[in-house]
Structure 1
Amino acid sequence: MNSPRFRSRRQLLLAACAGLAAPAVSLAQLRGKPAIRILVGLPPGGGTDAIARYFSDSLPALLGQSVIVENHVGAGGRLAADVLKSAEPDGMTYMIAPNATPTFQTLVFGKQLKWDLWRDFTPVAGLVSYPTGMAAGMATGAPDAGAFVRWARANPQQASFGTPGLGGQNHFLGLQFARAAGIALSVTPYKGTPPMITDLLGDHIPSAVTLLQDLLRHHRAGKMRLLGIFSDKRSPLAPDIPTMAEQGIPVRLGDAWTAMWAPARTPQPEIARVQAALKTILAAPQARQTLMTRLAVVPDYLDGEQMARRQRAELETWGPIIRASGFRAEL
């Protein structure tokens, strides 16, 4: 069917990318050239996959090569990273992943991993960022962070937060929130975000920590209360939602991000041409609107050196927090 109602997300993204300032490349020109692979460690249809496909749909016109997305799903993104480590460093294989894969996998599993972030991978570019928030169920009656803290103190046996898995940014942000607020919150882990949201909507858990985009529409519909975001400043994705710091709870470590990596020893000219293409895509006039309105992320380009600094700073920030939590995990 040709009705816009039936157009896929992929078709919408293709249409949005059509205005890129790049020469047209025909199928005939692409034919015969090897395809560049982008590895994704999370499921098709999810947020990271949609981000990867936004770029994979735009890159062929700029690189003169086909670009395909390969999903290697499982283990919180580790499987895709395993494949990247084994790939030839020839400029034909890259990985797009959220910061949970390099940062928190490294800090939680350390030498249990098959790869080392600094030895085996080269950062190519930062692509987008997005905030993490905390929401409360309607049964708590808490419209903001302060009210939820008061509720938790009055209901210590019920006070808890849900998280889509243990050992990730959401988990440790919840622990940091409880510590900063001076309350005790037990952790209720889930296998992913959807079942956690279902339980929060049904008031089976009193609160949850996850990406803003997973909470916002339910907050707008009056089905839960978004207490705040864990960022330095309000997000352009939801400028009406306050930060936790504004409300007297100084937890500012919740901006998540998605980036691209290459195998170590990938030739610098190959990395440079991909960087240039990614920067062109993000600089296109329609990119900001498309990414913010359709994928709920903010364009946030960083080159390889800037990415390396971001990675190092994040590891240095979260390392002591995770060690202090006493959390241990085994592969």
Structure 2
Amino acid sequence: MSFRAMLFHAMSFRAMLFRTISFRAILLAFTFGCAALPVQAANFPDRPIKLIVPFPPGGGTDVLARVIAQKLNEKWGQAIVVENQPGASGGIGTRAVVNATADGYTLLMASTGALMAAASALGGDGPFDVNKYLAPITVAAAPPYLLVVGPGVPARSAADIIRISKEKPDSLTYGSSGVGAASHLSAVLFESEAGIKMLHVPYKGTGPGVTDLLGGRIDMMFAPAPVVQPFIASGKLKAIGSTDSRRSQFYPNIPTISESGLPGYQSVGWFGLLAPAKTPPEIVKQINEAVVSIMDAKEFRDQLAILGAEPMPQTPDEFGRYINMDVAKWTKLVKDNNIQLPGAK
């Protein structure tokens, strides 16, 4: 055999050997990589979890986050650390979770407003898809908002609010937890359907807004029931309507806005749990099952009932579809009323 033939055979053998080793290495890496996910999920959680609330303490999102954090701590034996990161109508805290490591150890307790802020800042020209940026886990609750006024406001019904606003446009002020939040959009929908104009005063969360409402610095607010219920009970605030289409089982004496002056009106906010996009589905499923099992417990339902809320568990896929439909509905209202959301492109 010539030297050239020997060299050719040697090079061919080395190439074949390299391909074999490379294939085996890739196969092993794939096998162990796939095996790591179930093991990771099986050991989850093995350290504390950070639960980011994109609003200040005291609001509906914060209250429900702390209830769920306590129950998960009892169930898992791991600390669930609630961290408030307010700003930009929920956009700052939401973006922090969008950019977090997708391992299940950073979660988001979000609301309508937080996802509207995310859609405004992150979404493109087409319909918003939450799954591109976050992994939905489940809805925690979807309580109706209550239209509450300070004791000095001469209104006892939605009809009174409409009458006052038509007599003196922009004379009534309303607070919200931020531009684009459910508390803001509920008021915009009210204005739009009633054909009136009021003055909007946005805050960095529901808590600060309620504080000013109690102090008489604003006139009214569409607020989550869990936040304002104690003040309604004490007589410091007057509830003149619920935003749902039917009366709440927790507040049967409070009429709906539809029956107290604006027929057909309905607006319901939601609070839910999400993780960064690309969080392993096994971990998302595990968190979902843990939270849903907590919601099924009578103790948890009783605790939410005290806050005027009712659990509404969903699968991750159901929650994702729910968010996308909700964002699409409110996005149309925002465009129709020329509202500039924080971080809008």
Structures share a fold, TM > 0.5? Answer: yes
Instruction: Give the superposition deviation at 1:276.
Output: 1.4
1:267 to 280, 286, 308: 280
Deviations 1:69-120 (A, max 9, x none): 2415122333332332233323333222223211x213444459xx973312
Partner residue in 2 for 1:144: 157
Partner residue in 1 for 2:333: 321
Cα distance in structure 1, aligned partners of 2:50 and 2:243:
34
Change in CA separation of 1:315 and 1:191 when aligned onto 2, cut-off 3 Å: closer
Q: Is the 8 A contact 2:113 2:180 kept in 1?
A: no
Cα distance in structure 1, aligned partners of 2:108 and 2:233:
34
Change in CA separation of 1:231 and 1:327 when aligned onto 2, cut-off 3 Å: same
Counterpart secondary structure, 1:39: strand
Partner residue in 2 for 1:230: 243
Partner residue in 1 for 2:320: 308
Partner residue in 1 for 2:20: none
What is the root-mean-square deviation of aligned Cα atoms in Å?
Answer: 2.9
Q: Which moved more, 1:65-74 or 1:257-266?
A: 65-74
5+ residue gaps in structure 2? 1-42
Change in CA separation of 1:138 and 1:57 when aligned onto 2, cut-off 3 Å: closer
Q: How does 1:1-331 map to 2 (within 5 A)?
A: 33-44=46-57, 46-60=59-73, 62-63=75-76, 66-75=78-87, 76-102=89-115, 104-111=116-123, 117-156=130-169, 158-250=171-263, 252-293=265-306, 295-331=307-343
Cα distance in structure 1, aligned partners of 2:276 and 2:287:
14
Change in CA separation of 1:227 and 1:126 when aligned onto 2, cut-off 3 Å: same
Instruction: Give the superposition deviation at 1:301.
Output: 0.9
Cα distance in structure 1, aligned partners of 2:229 and 2:82:
29
Counterpart secondary structure, 1:216: helix
Q: Is the 8 A contact 2:53 2:109 kept in 1?
A: yes
TM-score under structure 2 length normalisation: 0.75
- Calculate percent identity across the aligned residue pairs: 25
Q: How many corresponding residue pairs?
A: 296
Counterpart secondary structure, 1:146: helix
Instruction: Give the superposition deviation at 1:282.
Output: 0.7
The structure 1 segments of at least 4 consecutive aligned residues displaced by more than 6 Å after TM superposition are none
Cα distance in structure 2, aligned partners of 1:144 and 1:61:
43
Cα distance in structure 1, aligned partners of 2:235 and 2:140:
32
Q: Please tell me the residue identity of whatever aligns with 1:131.
A: P
Partner residue in 2 for 1:11: none
Instruction: Give the superposition deviation at 1:256.
Output: 1.7
Q: Please tell me the residue identity of whatever aligns with 1:167.
A: G
5+ residue gaps in structure 1? 1-29
Counterpart secondary structure, 1:249: coil
Instruction: Give the superposition deviation at 1:253.
Output: 4.4
Q: Which moved more, 1:38-47 or 1:257-266?
A: 38-47
Counterpart secondary structure, 2:259: helix
Q: Which moved more, 1:280-289 or 1:256-265?
A: 256-265
Q: Is the 8 A contact 2:144 2:243 kept in 1?
A: yes
Q: Which has the larger radius of gyration?
A: 2
Cα distance in structure 2, aligned partners of 1:315 and 1:51:
21
Cα distance in structure 2, aligned partners of 1:197 and 1:39:
22
Cα distance in structure 2, aligned partners of 1:40 and 1:255:
20
TM-score under structure 1 length normalisation: 0.78
Partner residue in 1 for 2:28: none
Q: Please tell me the residue identity of whatever aligns with 1:261.
A: L
Change in CA separation of 1:284 and 1:176 when aligned onto 2, cut-off 3 Å: same
Change in CA separation of 1:98 and 1:222 when aligned onto 2, cut-off 3 Å: same
